[in-house]
A and B are shown apart, each in its own frame.
Chain A
Amino acid sequence: MDKLPDLASLFKTYPQDKNFLDEVFDDEGNIRAQYLGVFEHFSGLPLPDFRDLYEYAKKSSFDQGITFNVYSDKSQGVERIFPFDLFPRIIMAEEWSKMQRGLIQRNRALNLFLKDIYNEKKILKDKVVPKELIFSSKNYCKAMMDFVPYGEVYVHISGTDVIRHKDGEFYVLEDNLRCPSGVSYVLSDRMATKRILPTLFFKSQVQPVVDYPEALLNVLKSVAPPGADQPLCVLLTPGVYNSAYYEHSFLALQMGIQLVEPRDLYVDNNFLYMKTIHGPQKVDVVYRRIDDEYLDPLVFRPESMLGVPGIMHAFREGNVSLANAPGTGVADDKAVYTYVPDIIRYYLSEEPLLKNVHTYRCEKDDDFQYVLENLNQLVVKPVDESGGYGIFIGSKATRQEIEDFKEVVKSNRRKYIAQPTMALSVHTTFIEEENKFEPRHIDLRTFALTGHEMEYVCQGGLTRVALRRGNLVVNSSQGGGSKDTWVLQESPNHAEPPLDTSGHTASQIQEQSSDQSTQRQSQGS
Chain B
Amino acid sequence: MMLSRTANSLFWIGRYSERIGHLARYISAQYLSSSDMPTSLDKKVVLESLLFTAQASEAFQNQGAPLTDNEVISFLTLNEQYPYSIKNYIGMMRENTRGVRNNISTEVWEATNRFYHTTQVFSFEELAKKGPYDFCKHCMDYTSIIKGVVDNTLLRNYAWSLIYTGIHLERAMQIVQILLAKLEDIRKTPDSQADPAINSYHWATLLRSAGGLDMSRHYYGTNPTRELVTDFFILNRKFPKSILYNLEKLRFHLKIISNGQPMTPDSVEFKVGKLAAHIQFLTVDEILEQGEKFLQDLEKELDTAGADLERQYFIF
A residues contacting B by CB (< 8 A) are 62-65, 74-76, 235, 239-240, 245, 249-250, 252-253, 257-261, 263-264, 274-278, 281, 523-525
Contacts and interface: CB of A to CB of B under 8 A. Distances in A.
B67 to A, nearest CB: 27
Nearest to B8: A277
A260 B91 contact: no
Given A276-B2, A281-B1, A74 B91 contact: yes
A524 B314 CA distance: 20
Given A249-B102, A252-B102, A277 B114 contact: no
A257 B103 CA distance: 9
Contact of B109 (A65, A239, A259, A278): A65
Contacts of A63: 110, 113-114, 117
B3 A274 contact: yes
Contacts, number: 79
B261 interface: yes
Contacts of B4: 264, 275-277
Nearest to A524: B1
B259 to A, nearest CB: 6
18 contacts: A63-B110, A63-B117, A64-B113, A65-B113, A75-B88, A75-B92, A235-B102, A253-B106, A257-B102, A258-B3, A274-B3, A275-B5, A275-B316, A277-B2, A277-B3, A277-B7, A277-B314, A525-B157
B158 interface: yes
Nearest to A259: B102
A258 B101 contact: no
B185 interface: no
A258 B102 contact: yes
B3 A264 contact: yes
Nearest to B2: A277
Nearest to A64: B110
B98 A249 contact: yes
Contact of B98 (A65, A76, A235): A65
Nearest to A234: B3
Given A62-B117, A277-B158, A525-B157, A75 B3 contact: no
Task: List 9 tightest A-B contacts by C-beta distance, closest first.
Answer: A249-B101, A75-B91, A252-B102, A253-B102, A277-B313, A259-B102, A275-B316, A65-B113, A277-B7
A258 B101 CA distance: 10
A70 B152 CA distance: 33
B95 interface: yes
B191 to A, nearest CB: 45
A264 B7 CA distance: 12
B146 to A, nearest CB: 14
B235 interface: no
Interface in B87-114: 88, 91-92, 94-95, 98-99, 101-103, 106, 109-110, 113-114
Contacts of B80: 74, 76
Contacts of A275: 3-5, 315-316
Contacts of A278: 2, 259, 261
A235 B2 CA distance: 14
B136 interface: no
B257 interface: yes
Contact of A259 (B101, B113, B259, B261): B101
A516 B2 CA distance: 21
Contacts of B103: 259
Nearest to B257: A277
Contacts of A249: 98, 101-102
Contacts of B6: 258
Contacts of A240: 95, 98-99
Interface string B179-192: 00000000000000
B110 A75 contact: no
A263 B315 CA distance: 11
B32 to A, nearest CB: 29
Interface in B1-26: 1-7
Interface string B263-286: 000000000000000000000000
A263 B5 contact: yes
Interface string B96-138: 0011011100100110011001001000000000000000000
B72 to A, nearest CB: 22
Given A275-B5, A275-B315, 18 more contacts: A62-B113, A62-B117, A63-B110, A63-B113, A65-B98, A65-B113, A75-B95, A240-B98, A240-B99, A245-B98, A249-B98, A253-B101, A253-B102, A264-B3, A264-B4, A275-B316, A277-B158, A525-B157
Contacts of A261: 5
A264 B95 contact: no
Contacts of B106: 64, 253
Contacts of A264: 3-5, 316
A518 B314 CA distance: 30
Given A245-B98, A525-B157, A260 B109 contact: no
B3, B103, B106 pick with most chain A CB within 10 angstroms: B3
Nearest to A232: B1
Contact of B91 (A76, A250, A258, A263): A76
A239, A257, A264, A278 pick with most chain B CB within 10 angstroms: A278
A263 B102 contact: no
A245 to B, nearest CB: 7
A261 B5 CA distance: 9
A350 B14 CA distance: 59
B101, B158, B315 pick with most chain A CB within 10 angstroms: B101
Nearest to B313: A277
Nearest to B110: A63
A259 B1 CA distance: 12
A23 B309 CA distance: 60
Nearest to B111: A63
A272 to B, nearest CB: 14
Nearest to A261: B5
B61 to A, nearest CB: 23
B2, B157, B316 pick with most chain A CB within 10 angstroms: B316
A65 B110 CA distance: 7
A274 B99 CA distance: 16
A34 B110 CA distance: 36
Nearest to B94: A75
B1 A276 contact: yes
A368 to B, nearest CB: 54
A281 B2 CA distance: 10
A281 B3 CA distance: 9
Nearest to B95: A75
Given A258-B1, A281-B1, A263 B92 contact: no
Nearest to A79: B117
A74 B99 CA distance: 16
A524 B104 CA distance: 12
Contacts of B7: 277
Contacts of B158: 277
Nearest to B99: A240
Contacts of B109: 65
Contacts of A76: 80, 91, 120
A444 to B, nearest CB: 28
B165 to A, nearest CB: 11
Contacts of A263: 5, 316
A398 to B, nearest CB: 49
Contacts of B2: 276-278
B311 to A, nearest CB: 12
B101 A250 contact: yes
Contacts of A523: 1
